[in-house]
Amino acid sequence: MIKTRWVQTGFAAVAAVVTVLAGVSAATSAGEASARSNLTAIVPAATGGGWDGFTREAQQVLRSDGIVNNVQVVNIPGAGGTIGLSQFVQQEGSDDTLMTSGGVMVGAIALNDSEYDLGDVTPIARMADDFSALVVPADSDIQTLDDFIAQWKKDPQGLSISGGSLGSIDHLLSGMLAKEVGIDPAQVNYIAYSGGGEALNSLLSHSTTVGVSGYNEVADQIDAGTLRAIAISSEERVPGVDVPTFKELGADVSMANWRGFVAAPGISSETKAEYLEIIDELHSSKAWKQTLKRNNWTDSYMVGDELDRFIADETETAERTVDELGM
């Protein structure tokens, strides 16, 4: 099994509530479903990471475009989102709460043999894809992917890799890259963090040697020159991101981190329709298109049966990857 250490910021939820004042809004009609008036968006991770940033960007657009009147974001960190999932499953029939989900959770469910999976909630929409980057502090002697691989092969257990929670895209990608370059994935010293902020701090403080993180979580540090990006996990170069892909550099690995929303189990058809309308309005808005461009996210909007099939395929792939890598 890949050697891991788990660092967690705590189990308490942190709520941030934003109230939108009266105005021209689709949310002010008294006859509308409660999600239009007050919507809670659960982030099953700590603040500062990819899920948190994605959800707060959505919160801003829902508010500014008057799609929802009052939106609050609640963070429930831990275990790749499976702690948040286990709590969310208990909110059966909830008509005013959505939870952010995606590839990270699918991997964590497979890795942790979670009691609950995405079949226990109601998928609403896949919204966007992001990609992970291999990064080092600017003063690191690792300049290229070849440099990294050479050091890694010398001492796989001594070279530490920081990243997101166990089962995350960062975690799976680290194992896949190890296998690709001839390192036993069981020897990988992967240090898991429940939020991107903690992983970044460990890297900047040189507590870890390299980091695997969602590109947008570290883009500011790359632009500022405090981190150096070595490679990114996309199939092809991401427009506007001047970082080579692993494939481009000779390592045949790639992986996308998709993000979207799920609703509680047992919701009514009316509630599901309301959620779908809200998320469709979010996706169709000019502000969201600008958000995608600003964050270098790939628009991967998907709902309905197509989404159900996609999640089933992702689940099968994650379970197979975890098994193949001995994780």
Task: State how far the Cα of 73 lies from the Cα of 8, in Å rounded to an integer.
Answer: 19
Same-domain pairing of 211 and 286? no
Same-domain pairing of 97 and 164? no
Which range of residues forms the domain containing residue 144? 131-232
How does pLDDT run across 98-150, given as a tens digit for each residue? 999 999 899 999 988 899 999 999 999 999 999 999 999 999 999 999 999 99
Count: domains in the chain:
2
CA distances (Å), origin 310, targets 118, 248, 314, 324 = 12, 27, 6, 21
* pLDDT attached to residue 30: 37
Whether the CB-CB separation of 121 and 263 falls below 8 Å is answered with: yes
Same-domain pairing of 123 and 142? no
In sequence order, which ranges of the chain are alpha helices (DSSP H)?
34-37, 50-64, 82-88, 103-112, 145-154, 169-181, 196-204, 215-224, 269-284, 286-295, 304-324
How does pLDDT run across 65-82, given as a tens digit for each residue? 999 999 999 999 988 899
Lowest mean pLDDT among 62-66, 183-187, 304-308, 309-313: 183-187
Same-domain pairing of 124 and 182? no
CATH of the domain at 25: 3.40.190.150
Same-domain pairing of 63 and 146? no
* pLDDT attached to residue 73: 98
Average pLDDT in the 311-316 region? 93
Compute and round to an integer the Cα radius of gyration of the chain: 20
Structural domain contains residue 117: yes
Lowest mean pLDDT among 7-21, 59-73, 91-105, 168-182: 7-21
23: its two tokens: 């105005």
Same-domain pairing of 152 and 114? no
Same-domain pairing of 126 and 139? no
Average pLDDT in the 185-210 region? 88
Structural domain contains residue 126: yes
Question: Taking 70 as the threshold, does the pLDDT of residue 17 lie above it?
Answer: no
Same-domain pairing of 106 and 151? no
46: its two tokens: 């700590």
* pLDDT attached to residue 321: 83
Whether the CB-CB separation of 99 and 230 falls below 8 Å is answered with: no
Same-domain pairing of 40 and 97? yes
Structural domain contains residue 306: yes
Same-domain pairing of 194 and 299? no
Structural domain contains residue 37: yes
Same-domain pairing of 125 and 135? no
* pLDDT attached to residue 12: 38
Last residue of a domain, one of 216, 232, 248: 232
Same-domain pairing of 16 and 118? yes
Cα 142-202-257 angle, rounded to 5 deg? 80
Amino acid at 306: E
Structural domain contains residue 251: no
Amino acid at 102: G
How large a percentage of the chain has pLDDT more than 90?
71
